[in-house]
A and B are shown apart, each in its own frame.
Chain A
């Protein structure tokens, strides 16, 4: 999986939870919660959904690492290398 695949997967899960988000305007560096209305339950659903979508078991304590697009890539890329 490339970085771009991870990004696409993350955006697809975001669009499922909060379809009103303009995904092309997301700043990859900034936390989701600081860019749009995204509460704790949304974030929990996002972390669960992303793990399921790409087929990786993400331990709960690591969820905060997924709080921005670049965070998702930085966390998941090494785990998906070679897939």
Chain B
């Protein structure tokens, strides 16, 4: 018998390779979840209890590095899966004792402290919705979110409470309980979390939640109107698990560091839930960005998988390759980035300086989990967001007059990035805004609001936002919220807010302000407005730059044209001005 011509049979990456394995299906993947012993599905059971009942019970689930860790000689605070089960049981029992009913909302406003993680998972155990707020928010974003989200319980620190929440209590009658972390006497009108925890039993169970029961609430800013409360369900946990494995190459036993704060969706989906579901150890650093400290953590904690953001990577690049080379980063296996497009230089800098390229990926608060990624299994295209993960169908679409959309199949054509509905972590509502929710969908697509193109190889490339949203340091900032805060100042007649391109943060918030008669545009007033905005909004949301402008461009109906402000800022042609006030 003649021998087969091997060369004709064995080719690298054969095109029919996918035909040799079972295609991915969410139904099949769902078998990896345990489900609750009595039926139902609860994120906290998948993330904590099932490991605590198994061989992983003594594995470290969370490793906390305090702000002053370096001063303390490198001591860390470890919590095993078994301990995390007990602590989260206690917190669920605290909520029961406070008569917090299933479906009611528990908020946190805190830095990355251990209690935040206990509260997150204990809240889910009790069948409540967990909503983390970014601790750098000022009182206005906090009030809007607590109000819209219908917060019943808030867990925070005494310092944050006094600075940002105490003054809001009268306006938030639904906020029944404020629990204070730490040893100091809780301020008037609040309770001590530690005292309640000590009195609660460590025994317990998850409430029998169903896959479609709401679990997580994350806020995202809007171009017009108040922020939107994005609702995710317990069933989203399947997407957390699958995407962490496929897009982050995350495995049981990994030392995983996600640098995002749980106040943003990445810090909850991938900073808490996904790695615990997979049985990894999660590194949590309480401190803010510091290049040397970050390298020290990567080295000392032997981080294997690292998920961070473009702004941080660019700051590391600015700190220089020499700094990185002073550390042993050999434990690293996989680096990923999310938040805004990662520039090709940064992808390659990872490869050249850290030993591995960064894998960029794309998703949004609304998608709940990574949708498009450069995975370990494929070639990275530096600058591209990657390809849709198995189980995800993405497309480039064009909105049609009259409501529908049509898919654009020609490569390299710019359109709106859309995802076929039905993936497990698809958001299920904007709280109290049913119309806005419906407007996100057309013809079976979720419309992301991001403009992108798909190349011949199926890789997606971010182009910009379809609306006026600002992408700054990985956060989506709505101009409306910033403009509203500025308008509250007695000197301000009108304000228009844009994202100004920035080499580190991608964009920074810049405000153009028109003053009321009788106010002089001078430096003292500019600073006063800056301080005013920062106090109300917090540093992360407030403008970094304010410019006075006597005539803000407006449509005939009086709407400020942010796009034109941006065009002026960039020195671009202003386009057709015929709809402007006064014509052109």
CB neighbours (8 Å) of A40 from chain B are 288-289, 311-312, 315, 473
Q: Does A8 contact B (CB under 8 A)?
A: no
- Of the residues A15, A41, A61, contact of B504 by C-beta under 8 Å: A41
Q: Does A25 contact B (CB under 8 A)?
A: no
- Determine the distance from Cα of A23 to Cα of B338 in the docked complex, in whole angstroms: 36
CB neighbours (8 Å) of B540 from chain A are 39
Known: A19-B528, A19-B530, A60-B320. A41 touches B136 (CB 8 A): no
Interface flags, A14-39, vs B, CB<8A=1, else 0: 01111110000000000001100111
Q: Is the CB of B504 within 8 A of A19?
A: no
Q: Is the CB of A15 within 8 A of B527?
A: yes
CB neighbours (8 Å) of A17 from chain B are 544
Known: A38-B539, A41-B473, A42-B539. A61 touches B291 (CB 8 A): yes
Known: A38-B539, A39-B136. A45 touches B534 (CB 8 A): no
- Of the residues B136, B504, B534, contact of A20 by C-beta under 8 Å: B534
Interface flags, B535-562, vs A, CB<8A=1, else 0: 1001110001000000000000000000
Closest to A62 in B: B319
Interchain Cβ contacts within 8 Å, total number? 63
Q: Does A54 contact B (CB under 8 A)?
A: no
Interface flags, B315-347, vs A, CB<8A=1, else 0: 100111011000000000000000000000000
Q: How far is the CB of B562 from chain A (nearest CB, A)?
A: 21
Q: How far is the CB of A75 from chain B (nearest CB, A)?
A: 14
Closest to B535 in A: A20
Q: Is the CB of A41 within 8 A of B320?
A: no
- Of the residues B67, B504, B532, B538, contact of A44 by C-beta under 8 Å: B504
Q: Does B531 contact A (CB under 8 A)?
A: yes
Interface hits, A39-83 → B, CB 8 Å: 39-42, 44-45, 59-61, 63-64
CB neighbours (8 Å) of A15 from chain B are 527
- Determine the distance from Cα of A37 to Cα of B323 in the docked complex, in whole angstroms: 27
Q: Does B469 contact A (CB under 8 A)?
A: no
- Of the residues B67, B138, B288, B319, contact of A60 by C-beta under 8 Å: B319
- Of the residues B291, B532, B538, B544, contact of A41 by C-beta under 8 Å: B544
Q: How far is the CB of B495 from chain A (nearest CB, A)?
A: 17
CB neighbours (8 Å) of B293 from chain A are 64
Q: How far is the CB of A63 from chain B (nearest CB, A)?
A: 8
Interface flags, B127-156, vs A, CB<8A=1, else 0: 000000000101000000000000000000
Q: Does B203 contact A (CB under 8 A)?
A: no
Known: A37-B138, A40-B473, A41-B504. A61 touches B539 (CB 8 A): no
Q: Is the CB of A33 within 8 A of B323?
A: no
- Determine the distance from Cα of A60 to Cα of B317 in the docked complex, in whole angstroms: 10
Q: How far is the CB of B325 from chain A (nearest CB, A)?
A: 12
- Determine the distance from Cα of A38 to Cα of B544 in the docked complex, in whole angstroms: 12
- Of the residues A16, A19, A45, A64, contact of B292 by C-beta under 8 Å: A64
Interface flags, B41-70, vs A, CB<8A=1, else 0: 000000000000000000000000001000
Q: How far is the CB of B290 from chain A (nearest CB, A)?
A: 5
20 contacts between A and B (CB under 8 A): A18-B530, A18-B531, A19-B530, A19-B534, A37-B539, A38-B539, A39-B288, A39-B540, A40-B288, A40-B315, A40-B473, A41-B311, A41-B539, A41-B544, A45-B544, A59-B320, A60-B318, A61-B320, A63-B319, A64-B292
Binding site for B on A (CB under 8 A): 15-20, 33-34, 37-42, 44-45, 59-61, 63-64
4 smallest CB-CB distances across A and B, nearest first, come from A20-B531, A19-B531, A19-B527, A40-B289
